[in-house]
Chain A
Amino acid sequence: MAARILFPLAVVLAIVAVALIGGSISFLQPLFSVALLYVAFAIFFFGFMAKVIDWAKSPVPFRIPTTAGQEFSLPWIKWAKIDNPSTTGGVLMRMFFEVCLFRSLFRNMRTDLRSGWLIHSPTKWLWLLALGFHYSFLIIAIRHLRLFVHPIPGFVETLDAVDGMFQIGIPPIYLTDLVILLCVTGLLVRRLCLPKVRFVSLAADYFPLFLILGIVISGLLMRFVFRVDITAVKALANGIVSFHPVVPKGIGAIFFVHLALVCTLIAYFPFSKLMHMGGIFMSPTRNLANTTRMAYHENPWRQPPKFHSYEEYEDMYREYMKEAGLPLERE
Chain B
Amino acid sequence: MYDAGKVVIGLAIFACIFLFPFLYNHGSAAPQPKPSLDTPAIKALPQKKCVEDTKFMITTHMQFLNDWRDQALRDGNRWYVNKEGKKVWISLQNTCLKCHSNKKEFCDKCHNYAGVDPYCWDCHYDPNGSKL
User: Which of A's residues lie within 8 Å of B, judged by CB?
Assistant: 44-45, 48-49, 52-53, 56-60, 145-153, 156-157, 160-161, 167, 169-171, 227-232, 234-235, 238-239, 241-244, 246, 248, 250, 252, 278, 281-282, 300
Q: Tell me the chain B residues, 1-27 only, with Cβ under 8 Å from chain A.
A: 1-4, 7, 10-11, 14-15, 18, 20-22, 24-25, 27
Distance A239 CA – B31 CA, assembled complex (angstroms)? 8
User: Could you tell me if A241 and B25 are in contact, using CB atoms closer than 8 angstroms?
Assistant: yes
User: Could you tell me if A57 and B113 are in contact, using CB atoms closer than 8 angstroms?
Assistant: no
User: Could you tell me if A241 and B60 are in contact, using CB atoms closer than 8 angstroms?
Assistant: no
**B contact residues, total (Cβ < 8 Å):** 38
Chain A residue at minimum C-beta to C-beta distance from B120:
A170
Q: Tell me the chain B residues, 32-48 only, with Cβ under 8 Å from chain A.
A: 32-33
Distance A150 CA – B114 CA, assembled complex (angstroms)? 9
User: Could you tell me if A231 and B110 are in contact, using CB atoms closer than 8 angstroms?
Assistant: yes
**Most A Cβ at <10 Å: residue of B14, B65, B113, B116:** B113
**Which A residues are CB-close (under 8 A) to B2?**
56-60, 300
Distance A147 CA – B30 CA, assembled complex (angstroms)? 11
User: Could you tell me if B14 and A242 are in contact, using CB atoms closer than 8 angstroms?
Assistant: no
User: Could you tell me if A169 and B7 are in contact, using CB atoms closer than 8 angstroms?
Assistant: no
Distance A145 CA – B17 CA, assembled complex (angstroms)? 12
Chain A residue at minimum C-beta to C-beta distance from B58:
A229
**Which A residues are CB-close (under 8 A) to B114?**
146-147, 230-231, 234
**Which A residues are CB-close (under 8 A) to B30?**
150-151, 234-235, 238, 242
**Most B Cβ at <10 Å: residue of A150, A153, A160, A246:** A150
Distance A241 CA – B59 CA, assembled complex (angstroms)? 24
**Also in contact, A231 and B33, with CB within 8 A (given A52-B7, A53-B1):** yes
**Also in contact, A242 and B28, with CB within 8 A (given A52-B11, A161-B117, A170-B63):** yes
**Also in contact, A52 and B32, with CB within 8 A (given A145-B21, A170-B66):** no
- A-B pairs under 8 A by CB, number: 108
Distance A216 CA – B59 CA, assembled complex (angstroms)? 20
User: Which of B's residues lie within 8 Å of A, judged by CB?
Assistant: 1-4, 7, 10-11, 14-15, 18, 20-22, 24-25, 27-33, 55, 58-60, 62-63, 65-66, 110, 113-119
Known: A148-B21, A160-B115, A248-B32. 14 other contacts (CB 8 A): A44-B18, A48-B14, A49-B14, A53-B11, A56-B3, A146-B114, A150-B113, A230-B116, A235-B32, A242-B27, A242-B30, A244-B27, A244-B29, A246-B32
User: Could you tell me if A238 and B25 are in contact, using CB atoms closer than 8 angstroms?
Assistant: yes
Q: Which of A49, A149, A229, A230 contacts B25 (CB 8 A)?
A: A149
Dominant secondary structure at the B interface: helix
**Most A Cβ at <10 Å: residue of B7, B10, B14, B114:** B114
Q: Which of A56, A228, A235, A250 contacts B4 (CB 8 A)?
A: A56
12 contacts between A and B (CB under 8 A): A45-B15, A48-B14, A52-B7, A52-B11, A60-B2, A147-B114, A169-B66, A227-B59, A228-B59, A234-B113, A235-B32, A250-B55
User: Could you tell me if A243 and B1 are in contact, using CB atoms closer than 8 angstroms?
Assistant: no
User: Could you tell me if A149 and B66 are in contact, using CB atoms closer than 8 angstroms?
Assistant: no
**Also in contact, A231 and B113, with CB within 8 A (given A53-B7, A56-B4, A170-B66):** yes
**Which A residues are CB-close (under 8 A) to B117?**
157, 160-161
Chain A residue at minimum C-beta to C-beta distance from B65:
A170
Q: Which of B1, B29, B33, B116 contacts A242 (CB 8 A)?
A: B29
Distance A58 CA – B117 CA, assembled complex (angstroms)? 50
How near does chain B come to A120, taking the closest CB pair, in angstroms?
A: 36
